[in-house]
Amino acid sequence: MTTSTSMAATGPSAVPRETFVLNLGPQHPATHGVLRVKLEMDGEYIVRAEPVIGYIHRMHEKMGENRTWAQFLPNTSRIDYLSAMAYTHAYVCAVERATGIPVPPRAEYLRVITSELNRISSHLVWFGAYLLDLGGFTPLLYAFDDREKILDLLETVTGSRLTYCYYRFGGLCNDVDDAFLAGVKDFVASMPPRLEMYRKLVTDNVILRKRLVDIGIIDADMCRRYGATGPVLRGAGVAYDVRRCEPYSVYPDLDFDIPVFPEGDCMARYLVRMEEIRQSLRIVAQAIDRLPDGPVMAEKVPRVVKVPAGDCVFATEAARGRFAVRLQGDGSDTAYRIKLRTPSFSNLSLFEESSQGMILPDALALMGSLDLVIPDIDR
């Protein structure tokens, strides 16, 4: 901790003001990873907050240039490990768009089902961890109990519980069985009563509302200036969702709403994510009912994929916002360049401006409402 002196006013009568520097992290539980925030404090109030990143940078983009297109597939689930399906989805779709590889309808529906289950599990982790940051322990146990059911289901078809590598160029690595479909139906039926319980236990709790309502206001203009997307943007009143604005897969055929709350505070972002769980359940239920028969892999997908020379971009709606993959191919089996546009980096960027003048506990509530995954920033 260091101290410094600044001027509270200008002119002959200026009064010196002493501030001190407080390091939040890089191993602080409220940062949810190796993120360091250098805080300049005036007593209990934040004068300036400077995020310091790069502690776990792994050079994913550079790795994509010295691996084949297929070898890079496992990397995508390690960028945002809580929303792995949406990231792999964006990558395989980008390659499929560039090469013209078709995807069977059954595979498209199963991609949506698994991606939305993964979105629900991600939001449940955020829900439990966020309330733990705010001082509540019990909701974490309930949230992880529900999340375990999703992990058990996805493990049966992917072999993994976190960093999935289930999608392939042209489809999926394997089909699902009747037990998986029955388990998904049971889970979809069991969640609405749990969400009602969460509303009574947490959402309507006066203590939570005192901590979140009118705290950490982020408006639509700030979101646009920093490129924030996902629940942060929808919590500022902007109905932008890649699944609607840049439709992909079978999302245009499914009926669901885009939750929007105009208040822009921590509570609005909380409510967006809780409502998104309901909408994801709607999507999964419809996809299960409409799931067609047929293969889950396209015919005659080349064993060695080569992307023709040119530029291709594909985006998906991940749990934290818009994730985009930009590929530059040169006709070989490796990428000339891969650029990953991750939502957590943009969402973190606005923390410095939005936290000015806040007291530290409120700033932690603001940071938690952004739902940061640090490997998504240090990609």
Residue at 199: amino acid letter: R
310-322: per-residue pLDDT in tens?
A: 999 999 999 999 9
Nearest partner of 51 among 24, 11, 75, judged by Cα: 24
- The reported pLDDT for the residue numbered 203 is 95
Arithmetic mean of pLDDT over the chain: 92
- Here the tokens at position 17 are 């003001």
- The reported pLDDT for the residue numbered 25 is 80
**List of domains in the chain:** 2-52 (no CATH), 101-298+345-377 (1.10.645.10)
Q: What's the average model confidence in pLDDT over 354-360?
A: 94
- The reported pLDDT for the residue numbered 3 is 53
- The reported pLDDT for the residue numbered 30 is 76
Collapsing DSSP states into helix, strand and coil, what is residue 312?
A: strand
Nearest partner of 37 among 378, 366, 351, judged by Cα: 351
- The reported pLDDT for the residue numbered 26 is 85
- The reported pLDDT for the residue numbered 16 is 61
- The reported pLDDT for the residue numbered 55 is 87
200-215: per-residue pLDDT in tens?
A: 999 999 999 999 999 9
Please give the share of the chain, as a percent, with pLDDT higher than 70: 96
Cα 337 to chain centroid, rounded: 24
278-309: per-residue pLDDT in tens?
A: 999 999 999 999 999 999 999 989 999 999 99
Collapsing DSSP states into helix, strand and coil, what is residue 236?
A: coil
Q: Measured between alpha carbons, how far is residue 280 from residues 73, 107, 147 in Å?
A: 25, 18, 14
Q: What's the average model confidence in pLDDT over 184-189?
A: 97
Whether residue 316 contacts residue 323, with contact meaning beta carbons closer than 8 Å, is answered with: yes
pLDDT class for 56, splitting at 50, 70, 90?
Answer: confident
- Here the tokens at position 212 are 């979140």
DSSP-derived letter for residue 308 is P
Cβ-based neighbours of 273, under 8 Å, separated by 6 or more: 123, 126, 127, 231, 371
- The reported pLDDT for the residue numbered 17 is 73
Query: Crossing angle of helices 360-369/266-290, nearest 10°?
Result: 20
Q: What's the average model confidence in pLDDT over 64-91?
A: 94
9 pLDDT higher than 70: no
- The reported pLDDT for the residue numbered 18 is 87
pLDDT class for 8, splitting at 50, 70, 90?
Answer: very low
E strands present in 224-298: none
- The reported pLDDT for the residue numbered 14 is 55
2 pLDDT higher than 70: no
pTM to 2 decimal places? 0.93
How far is the C-alpha of 69 from the C-alpha of 21, rounded, in Å? 45
135-175: per-residue pLDDT in tens?
A: 889 999 999 999 999 999 999 999 999 999 999 999 999 99
pLDDT class for 132, splitting at 50, 70, 90?
Answer: very high
Whether residue 154 contacts residue 301, with contact meaning beta carbons closer than 8 Å, is answered with: no
- Here the tokens at position 326 are 């930009």
Token pair 């909408």 in the structure block, residue: 279
